[in-house]
């Protein structure tokens, strides 16, 4: 029997709520570019479409386990318990942010909530995660480390070197390869560019004699089941596994950031802007993981339509307050500019 079939009504409701919180938070980040131009400096990379994958994977963790995502990293801390207000304040680079405004969207960290760091250098976070898993193994903490990275990142040398050492040392790590079909602006199957070799990508595990499975990343319960098995394996001292979670990134790579006087505008999704493939994008939207999970929970009687609406309203209200808080937080003081520079 699938492990997810034992999830309680409360836990399933929690999962739906977290998926919504990620989506609604990201929506506010996106709207900030239009409603408050200049407040977010630089890019913000949104993760719409990843909600089922993130929540399904993180629902399997034990409290002390560590989570190390790539640069598209807003959703994970929200699920781990980082206060959403401090998270948004960080994205706005304000003093009340989780890194006091010095990290910004791509370099979030909240060790107090088991989130040591994210990394804008793609692929490197995979090695960081194995390092944390090595520390856990040496110190016998019993922690499992969850490493999240993209399909594009799985082409990096750091990925292969880390997979090798993690397998040799039987490190307690779960590698979650988030195959969202795109590597920044490039579609995974772009034939003339040979974007990436190998399908399914989970077969890369074979070279290291570790389990490799592909899951439907648009279904949180399917992700839960495969990640749960991988985490239990790591917990039992049997070493790492590779889980490929397949979904579709619904937002473009990053938001086009134009600051006044040029009017702010959103970039179109790459499917449309680069490939002129509106049909692909529309099909992915019709397969939206949040809509599907909502229908599933109502269909099996876990939630009523009213329950779902109540959750949706409360998440919207939470995120209204989040934006107000972040906007009101001051910028870091200029005299603190080099205060946290260690090298």
Ligand X SMILES: Cc1ncc(C[n+]2csc(CCOP(=O)(O)OP(=O)(O)O)c2C)c(N)n1
Residues that bind Mg ion (CB under 5 A): 150-152, 180, 183
In 10 A of CB 256, how many CB atoms? Answer: 14
Residue number closest to Mg ion, CB atom: 150
Nearest distance from residue 132's CB to Mg ion, in Å? 23
Joined tokens for residue 325: 């808080």
Nearest to Mg ion of 224, 248 (CB atom): 248
User: Smaller CB distance to ligand X: residue 67 or 315?
Assistant: 67
Least CB distance from residue 196 to ligand X, whole Å? Answer: 9
Q: Which does 72 bind (CB under 5 to 8 A by kind): Mg ion, ligand X, none?
A: ligand X
* Cα separations in angstroms, 117 against 68, 101, 197, 254: 6, 15, 29, 20
Q: What is the 3-state secondary structure (H, E, C) of 240-282?
A: CEEEEEECCCCCCCCCCCCCCCCCCCCCCCHHHHCCCCHHHHH
Minimum separation from the CB atom of position 151 to ligand X (A): 4
Query: What's the closest the beta carbon of residue 294 comes to ligand X, in angstroms?
Result: 25
Q: How far apart are CA 299 and CA 39, in angstroms?
A: 41
User: Which residue number, 152 or 172, has a Cβ lying nearer to ligand X?
Assistant: 152
**Cβ of residue 43: shortest distance to Mg ion, in angstroms?**
15
Would you say 266 or 328 has its CB closer to ligand X? 266
- Measured in degrees and rounded to the nearest 5, phi and psi for residue 216 equal -75, 100
Minimum Å gap between C-beta 324 and ligand X is 29
d(CA 75, CA 126): 18
Question: Does residue 293 contact residue 222 with C-beta atoms inside 8 Å?
Answer: no
* Shortest CB 127 distance to ligand X, Å: 12
Q: Closest CB to Mg ion among 171 and 215?
A: 215
Integer CA distances (angstroms), 97 to 83, 109, 303, in order: 10, 10, 34
Binding site for ligand X (CB under 6 A): 72, 120-123, 150-153, 180, 182-184, 249, 253
For ligand X, the closer of residues 70 and 137 by Cβ is 70
Rounded least distance, CB 134 to Mg ion, Å = 26
CA 342/CA 194 separation, integer angstroms: 40
- The residue (of 91 and 297) whose beta carbon lies closer to ligand X is 91
3-class SS at 72?
Answer: coil
Region for 183 from its dihedrals, namely left if φ exceeds 0, alpha if ψ lies in -120 to 50, beta otherwise: beta
In the bound state with ligand X, the residue whose beta carbon lies nearer, of 188 and 311, is: 188
The option from Mg ion, ligand X, none interacting with 37 (CB < 5 to 8 A, set by class) reads: none
CB crowding 9-24: b at 16 or more within 10 Å, else e: eeebbebbbbbbbbbb
User: Per 3-state DSSP, what percentage of the chain is helix, strand, and coil (rounded to 5)?
Assistant: 50, 10, 40
Residue 5 corresponds to which tokens in the numbers above? Answer: 């079939």
Q: Which residue of this chain has its Cβ atom nearest to ligand X in the complex?
A: 150
Chosen from Mg ion, ligand X, none, partner binding at 153 (C-beta under 5 to 8 Å by type): ligand X
Q: How far is CA 273 from CA 61, 151, 257, 278, in A?
A: 38, 21, 16, 9
């Amino acid at each position: 029997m699938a492990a997810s079939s034992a999830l309680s009504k409360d836990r399933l409701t929690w999962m739906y709520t977290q998926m919504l919180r990620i989506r609604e938070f990201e929506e506010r980040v996106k709207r900030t570019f239009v409603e408050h131009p200049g407040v977010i400096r630089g890019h913000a990379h949104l993760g719409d479409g990843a909600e089922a994958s993130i929540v399904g994977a993180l629902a399997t963790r034990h409290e002390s386990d560590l989570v190390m995502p790539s640069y598209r990293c807003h959703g994970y801390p929200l699920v781990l318990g980082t206060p959403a207000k401090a998270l948004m304040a960080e994205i706005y680079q304000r003093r009340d942010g989780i890194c006091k405004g010095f990290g910004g969207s791509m370099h979030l960290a909240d060790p107090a909530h088991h989130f040591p760091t994210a990394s804008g250098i793609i692929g490197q976070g995979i090695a960081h995660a194995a390092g944390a898993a090595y520390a856990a193994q040496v110190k016998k903490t019993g922690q499992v480390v969850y490493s999240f990275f993209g399909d594009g990142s799985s082409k990096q040398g750091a990925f292969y070197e880390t997979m090798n050492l993690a397998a040799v040392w039987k490190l307690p790590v779960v590698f979650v390869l988030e195959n969202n079909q795109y590597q920044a602006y490039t579609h995974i199957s772009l034939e003339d560019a040979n974007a990436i070799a190998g399908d399914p990508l989970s077969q890369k595990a074979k070279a290291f004699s570790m389990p490799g499975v592909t899951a439907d990343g648009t279904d949180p319960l399917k992700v839960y089941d495969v990640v749960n098995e991988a985490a239990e394996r790591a917990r039992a001292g049997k070493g790492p596994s590779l889980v490929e979670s397949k979904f579709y990134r619904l937002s473009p790579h990053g938001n086009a950031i134009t600051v006044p006087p040029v009017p702010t505008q959103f970039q179109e999704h790459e499917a449309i802007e680069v490939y002129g493939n509106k049909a692909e994008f529309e099909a992915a939207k019709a397969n939206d993981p949040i809509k599907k999970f909502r229908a599933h929970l109502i269909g099996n009687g876990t939630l009523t339509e009213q329950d779902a609406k109540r959750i949706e309203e409360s998440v919207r209200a939470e995120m209204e307050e989040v934006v107000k808080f972040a906007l009101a937080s001051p910028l870091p003081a200029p005299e603190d500019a080099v205060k946290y520079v260690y090298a």
